[in-house]
Structure formats: C-alpha cells, structure tokens
C-alpha cells in the first residue's frame, strides 16, 4: 500500500476553502436576474470577436514530469494542508466519515463523495495530469469563482442552485458532458472549447464570462474541470476519466468546419424546408408565422432532462439571438452538427454539410432582418417529407449513417 496523504487535513482544507468560496459569492447573481440582464445586453456581446480556436496551451514551467517528484510534491502539499487534490482509495472511507461528522449527515443518508481524485491512485493521476501545480491553482480558482454554482465537488449542485427552480442548472463536471463543443455528439470537448466557454460564458444562462481572469488562470481551470470528469465504470469496476483518450472512446478530433457558402434566398428557403423536414420544428415551434420560436410549456413531461435528470423546461428560442454557445455562423454550425449532447436535441451530422449551412442561414435569417427571408409558401414543399433524401445528394445509398 502506498503512502497516503492525510485525508483529514486535506478534507478540512477543502471544507475551509469551500466555506470561503460560499461567503465570497454575492447573492444578486441569481439565475433570473442574470438571465434577464443578459437578454438586454448589446448584440455585440453575443458574437465577440473572439478566438474561435484558442491556441493549444503549453504546460507551464512548473509542470512536474517525473513521478517521484510528483509524489513528493503531493505529500508536501498535503502536509502543509495547502490543498487536497489526492486521496487514495482507502482514504475515501475516512474522508466520507470526516465529511459526515462535520456536516452532521446521519449514517443512513447516502452522500456522494466520489471524484477521480478521491478514488484513483496517484500513479493514475500522474499519467494524466503531471501538471500538479496547474491543477492546484485550478482547484483554488474553482473554489473561489465556481463552487457556489457548480458545487464544491463540481457536482452541479452549489449552494446557489437551491433557490433555482427553472432554467438551465449548472453543469455537473463528473459526467464529462458539455454543450459548447467543436466535437461530435457524445464526446468530450477540446481544451479550446472549454477555454472558449470560460471566456465567453454561456449566453442566456447564469454561467458568466470569466474574461477578467488571466489566460493562465482560465487554462488552469480548464485542466481542473477535466480532472473532475471521472466516471465509475460498473462494468469494469474502475474509475476512468472521460478525457483520457486511451481508455474511453469519448474523445474525438474537432469536426471540420468548411467555408460558409454565401447566404442567398435559396439557401434560406432550403433551410426553412429542412427545418420542418428534419423535425426541428417539433421542438422549436411557436405559434408565430415562422416555424421557429420558443417551445415553452410548463411541466407535464418527464422526458426532457439534463445530465443530472433535472428538468429542461423548454428548447431554445431561436428568434432572439441568445444562444448558449454563440450566434456566429460557425457556432450554429457546430451545435447543429454535433448537438448539445445534453438534453433532447439530436446531432445532425448525418445530413450533408450544405444542408447544415442552409439550416444555419435559415436560423440566422430569423433574427437578422438584413438576411433574405424565406416565403412561408415554401413550407408546403416540406410536408410530407420527400422520399429518402436526407443524405444531401439526392442520390440513394448516400451517407445517411455517416455519424458513427
């Protein structure tokens, strides 16, 4: 058995840090106030001239590259109770006990303490994250800026969420599921995607932009968030990290975004027809004359749920330019191709690229008055859907199943 870092000290440190984080949180950034204010912000905010593909970060000077140094560093850190990054498997039981006692949780009430850092041994962590200083820094920043919403363990259940009853809840990072991705459905985002989220925030939700943090700080947060995406695999009875490309099949290269075709009346019209044919209208319908809008109906169904089975009460209103991951053409192209992965919206990677651009143009035409406007008479062409042609070429036996 490996030398353990002291769980007691570590947990205490973590709890103190959380307490500080909670105090730090100001109550006026509740979800409703935040989302109201974001809708009234200028259009410029929704499409900031921002790096779409931020540069790949280099490991900082402080990165530790050999395991012994890594271990020494861990022990040292735990002795100074600077941080509580790593607990060995056996320490989990004791950690839970400490947590129970300090929080006054009765024995028969289950608590969830699982996180890769609590259950994987140092070697496994080293293999993934030899960059301990960055992680430590990320942890500190997380407790300071994020834990109020995302929860002390990144479970998406921070103290601020207790007052929330609707809208999108903060992400639970243990699932490794993200909306704002340049990758295929069901895969983890690239580092650049997470960095973009931190820089921009998610428009229309309470997730704020963190542009005021230095680039280095944002990168440390990205590393830290990835470290939380541990997943207990009951099949193999092991804990794996979704971002570990060797173990899972959840990582993928970013999708190619080709050049955007010119916006024409034809492309917008084709988009409008596709919007009906592809079933978008089923989830994005309103009683406005255009087949787009906000499908907001309260309750009644238990089937639209997020990654933690919390209700998603409505789809996105496509008329007001407030999109979680941006309203630029490339943003819309990405979300239509890869799907948000969270919630019911499918991925449309199986339809041809031109068609996805048509859909982008149509969606944009709804909030861009200077775009050509598709005539409502076009809707008749969509219903009933034309035979078998969803492979974009009109030819039989096309790429209908290209999204493996």
DSSP 164: -
- Please say which residue, 186 or 372, places its beta carbon nearer to other proteins: 186
Phi and psi torsions of 10, nearest 5°: -65, -45
148 is in the binding site of which of ligand HEC, other proteins, none (Cβ under 5 to 8 A by kind)?
ligand HEC
Q: Which residue stretch of 42-50, 96-104, 248-256, 334-342 sits at the interface with ligand HEC (rule: CB under 6 A)? A: 334-342
Question: For the range 305-312, what are the long-range contacts, defined as Cβ-Cβ under 8 Å and sequence gap of 24 or more?
Answer: 305/343, 306/168, 306/169, 306/342, 306/343, 307/156, 307/171, 307/172, 307/175, 307/177, 307/342, 308/156, 308/157, 308/169, 308/172, 308/175, 310/169, 311/166, 312/168, 312/343, 312/344
Out of 239, 335, 349, 352, which residue is the one contacting ligand HEC (CB under 6 A)? 335
- 170 contributes a contact to ligand HEC by CB under 6 A: yes
Out of 135, 229, 240, 359, which residue is the one contacting ligand HEC (CB under 6 A)? 359
Out of 10, 316, 352, 390, which residue is the one contacting ligand HEC (CB under 6 A)? 316
Among residues 12, 32, 55, 77, which one has the least CA distance to residue 222?
A: 55
Q: Is 130 exposed, middle or buried (0-12, 13-18, 19+ CB in 10 A)?
A: middle
Out of 20, 247, 283, 378, which residue is the one contacting ligand HEC (CB under 6 A)? 283
Count of residues interacting with ligand HEC (CB under 6 A) = 49
DSSP 310-341: -B--B---TTS---TT-SSHHHHHHHHHH--S
Sites for ligand HEC among residues 209-268 (CB under 6 A)? 210, 221, 225
Residue 171 CB, nearest distance to ligand HEC (Å)? 4
Q: Which residue stretch of 4-12, 261-269, 322-330, 347-355 sits at the interface with other proteins (rule: CB under 8 A)? A: 347-355
- CB contact at 8 A, 85 and 135: yes
- CB contact at 8 A, 176 and 229: yes
Q: Which residue stretch of 35-43, 192-200, 254-262, 372-380 sits at the interface with ligand HEC (rule: CB under 6 A)? A: 192-200
- 188 contributes a contact to ligand HEC by CB under 6 A: no
In angstroms, the CA 371 to CA 201 distance is 27
In angstroms, the CA 344 to CA 33 distance is 26
List interacting residues with ligand HEC (CB under 6 A).
29, 145-146, 148-150, 160, 168-171, 178-180, 194, 197-198, 202, 205-208, 210, 221, 225, 278-280, 282-284, 312, 315-316, 318, 323-325, 332, 335-336, 340, 343-346, 348, 359, 363
List interacting residues with other proteins (CB under 8 A).
89-90, 92-93, 96, 110-114, 119, 184-187, 231-235, 249-250, 277-279, 282-283, 295, 297, 300-304, 339, 341, 344-348, 350, 384-385, 387-388, 390-391, 397-398, 400-401, 403-404
């Amino acid at each position: 058995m490996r030398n353990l870092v002291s769980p007691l000290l570590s947990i205490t440190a973590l709890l103190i840090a959380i307490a500080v984080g909670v105090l730090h949180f100001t109550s006026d950034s509740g979800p409703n106030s935040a989302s109201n204010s974001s809708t009234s912000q200028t259009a410029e905010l929704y499409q900031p001239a921002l790096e779409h593909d931020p540069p790949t970060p280099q490991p900082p000077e402080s990165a530790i590259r050999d395991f012994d140094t890594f271990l020494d560093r861990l022990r040292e850190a735990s002795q100074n109770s600077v941080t509580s990054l790593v607990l060995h498997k056996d320490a989990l039981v004791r950690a839970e006990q400490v947590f129970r006692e300090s929080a006054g949780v009765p024995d028969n009430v289950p608590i969830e303490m699982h996180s890769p850092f609590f259950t994987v041994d140092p070697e496994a962590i080293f293999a993934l994250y030899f960059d301990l200083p960055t992680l430590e820094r990320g942890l500190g920043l997380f407790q300071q800026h994020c834990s109020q919403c995302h929860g002390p363990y990144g479970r998406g259940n921070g103290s601020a969420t207790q007052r929330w009853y609707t809208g999108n809840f903060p992400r639970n990072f243990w699932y490794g599921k993200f909306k704002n991705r340049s990758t295929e459905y069901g895969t983890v985002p690239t580092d650049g995607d997470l960095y973009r989220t931190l820089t921009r925030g998610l428009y229309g939700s309470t997730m704020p932009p963190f542009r005021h943090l230095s680039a280095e700080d944002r990168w440390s947060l990205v590393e830290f968030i990835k470290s939380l995406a541990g997943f207990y695999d009951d099949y193999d009875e092991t804990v794996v990290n979704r971002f570990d490309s060797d173990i899972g099949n959840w990582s993928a290269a970013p999708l190619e975004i080709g050049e955007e075709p010119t916006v024409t009346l034809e492309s917008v019209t084709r988009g409008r027809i596709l919007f009906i044919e592809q079933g978008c209208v089923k989830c994005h319908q309103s009683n406005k004359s255009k087949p787009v809008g906000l499908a907001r109906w309260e309750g009644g169904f238990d089937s639209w749920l997020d990654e933690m089975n919390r209700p998603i009460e409505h789809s996105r209103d496509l008329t007001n330019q407030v999109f979680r991951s941006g309203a630029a053409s490339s943003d819309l192209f990405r979300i239509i191709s890869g799907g948000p992965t969270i919630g019911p919206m499918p991925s449309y990677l199986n339809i041809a690229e031109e068609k996805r651009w048509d859909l982008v143009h149509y969606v944009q035409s709804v909030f861009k008055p200077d775009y050509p406007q598709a005539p409502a008479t076009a809707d008749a062409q969509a219903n009933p859907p034309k035979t078998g042609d969803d492979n974009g070429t009109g030819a039989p036996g096309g790429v209908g199943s290209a999204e493996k």
